[in-house]
């Protein structure tokens, strides 16, 4: 039986590839998509989620609009951390995309998550957020019983040695640190697929060649996304090739061995002057706290890109 997931996204080039992977892999049933403000304002991320869903044929599932602002903090708009610089003014600059072929679900993202999880069997759904955690925090506050019914939460965010929005914090966690603190502290397992892992998932020239060689309209769209995203990574972070962060979270659900993870105590710092939004991670128990979550550490690079290439081929057929 394929694993049912609810993908909570802020597309975003790597969110778009995460949607593509979820739709194009037979081990996963993409049950719903929810949007959140993050890489761009909510109106744009929602529109992008619908356009990408249309592109990959995820047209008969509910897509719901989520939170417009973080729970407590101001929305990040400062140019130095605004992901607009790597994702562009639309949030998904680059190739032309189809207009949405579906209507939005009338429910909020949080309500849709609650309705699906509560109607399903315990353990039926895995939540895969690849943006700020506002929707998940709202859902678990509105209906605390979802915490015990979700199989697990696999989040692209955080990191245990580096940040990318500040020296200490990764963008998705920093963008709604209070929401992230609540989600990581709740009584479910969060697998943190953070920067230490996702910076291994880079689109190298060899990978780009493999994608181009597929030679379909969809592979050309992905190639152009990687052009735009890659240029941003080079200019903002001086990284020669872009890391495809968000698809790593989906890959973890498809094949846990591809995204190796280890037990850890993980908590989100919300008070530090320099460390606000840091995902404090203890693999050894040094701090005396019991392990509460998992941290992704090691990517099987070839197997990861095989999954992406296979999904593009399957969706192109
Ligand atoms: C995360 O931030 C966003 O820009 C990406 O979509 C990804 O989810 C990486 O820090
Ligand atoms: Ca994202």
pLDDT in tens, 95-107: 999 999 999 999 9
Q: Is 217 helix (H, G, I), strand (E, B) or coil?
A: helix
User: Are the C-beta atoms of residues 131 and 9 closer than 8 Å to each other?
Assistant: yes
User: Are the C-beta atoms of residues 206 and 304 closer than 8 Å to each other?
Assistant: no
What CA–CA distance (Å, rounded) separates 270 from 248?
26
Count of structural domains within the chain: 1
Q: Looking at the CA of residue 11, tell me the nearest atom of ligand 1.
A: 6
Closest CA to 66 of 227, 194, 179, 188: 179
pLDDT exceeds 60 at position 78: no
Rounded to the nearest angstrom, the distance between the alpha carbon of 266 and the centre of ligand 1 is 19
Mean pLDDT of the region 165-190: 97
pLDDT exceeds 80 at position 167: yes
Q: Which of 87, 199, 245, 260 is an active site residue?
A: 245
pLDDT exceeds 80 at position 80: no
Q: For residue 199, indicate whether it is catalytic.
A: no
In the chain, the percentage of residues whose pLDDT exceeds 70 is 97
What CA–CA distance (Å, rounded) separates 239 from 248?
18
pLDDT exceeds 70 at position 166: yes
Rounded to the nearest angstrom, the distance between the alpha carbon of 289 and the centre of ligand 2 is 29
Ligand located closest to 85 CA: 1
Which tokens hold the place of 102? 């579906």
Domain hosting residue 208, numbered range = 3-316
Q: Name beta bridge partners: 65.
A: 108
**pLDDT classification of 82: cutoffs 50, 70, 90:** low
Which CATH number belongs to the domain containing residue 307 in this structure? 3.90.245.10
Rounded to the nearest angstrom, the distance between the alpha carbon of 10 and the centre of ligand 2 is 5
What is the model's pLDDT at position 83? Answer: 55
The pick from 45, 81, 93, 156 for probing ligand 1's pocket by mutation, whose C-beta has the most ligand atoms within 8 angstroms, reads 156
The helix (run of H) or strand (run of E) holding residue 297 is strand 293-299
pLDDT exceeds 50 at position 81: no
pLDDT exceeds 50 at position 276: yes
Q: Is the overall model pTM greater than 0.75, yes or no?
A: yes
């Amino acid at each position: 039986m394929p694993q049912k997931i609810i993908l909570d996204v802020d597309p975003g080039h790597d969110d778009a590839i995460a949607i593509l992977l979820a739709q194009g892999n037979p081990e996963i049933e993409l049950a719903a998509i929810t949007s959140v403000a993050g890489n761009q304002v909510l109106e744009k991320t929602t529109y992008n989620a619908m356009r990408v869903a249309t592109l990959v044929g995820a047209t008969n599932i509910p897509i719901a609009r989520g939170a417009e602002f973080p729970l407590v903090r101001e929305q990040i708009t400062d140019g130095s951390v605004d992901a607009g610089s790597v994702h562009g003014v639309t949030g998904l600059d680059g190739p032309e995309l189809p207009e949405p072929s579906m209507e939005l679900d009338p429910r909020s993202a949080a309500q849709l998550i609650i309705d699906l999880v509560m109607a399903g069997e315990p353990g039926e759904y895995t939540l895969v957020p690849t943006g700020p955690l506002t929707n998940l925090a709202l859902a678990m506050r509105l209906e605390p019983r979802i915490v015990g019914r979700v199989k697990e939460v696999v989040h692209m965010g955080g990191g245990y040695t580096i940040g990318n929005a500040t020296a200490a914090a990764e963008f998705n966690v920093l963008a709604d640190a209070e929401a992230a603190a609540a989600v990581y502290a709740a009584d479910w397992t969060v697998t943190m697929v953070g920067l230490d892992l996702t910076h291994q998932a880079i689109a190298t020239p060899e990978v780009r060649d493999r994608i181009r060689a597929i030679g379909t309209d969809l592979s050309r769209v992905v190639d152009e996304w990687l052009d735009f995203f890659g240029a941003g990574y080079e200019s903002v972070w001086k990284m020669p090739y872009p890391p495809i962060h968000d698809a790593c979270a989906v890959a973890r659900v498809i094949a846990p061995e591809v995204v190796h993870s280890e037990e850890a105590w993980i908590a989100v710092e919300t008070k530090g002057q320099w460390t606000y939004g840091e995902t404090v991670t203890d693999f050894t128990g040094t701090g005396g706290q019991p392990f509460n979550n998992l941290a992704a550490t090691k990517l099987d690079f070839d197997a990861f890109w095989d999954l992406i290439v296979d999904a593009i081929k399957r969706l192109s057929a």
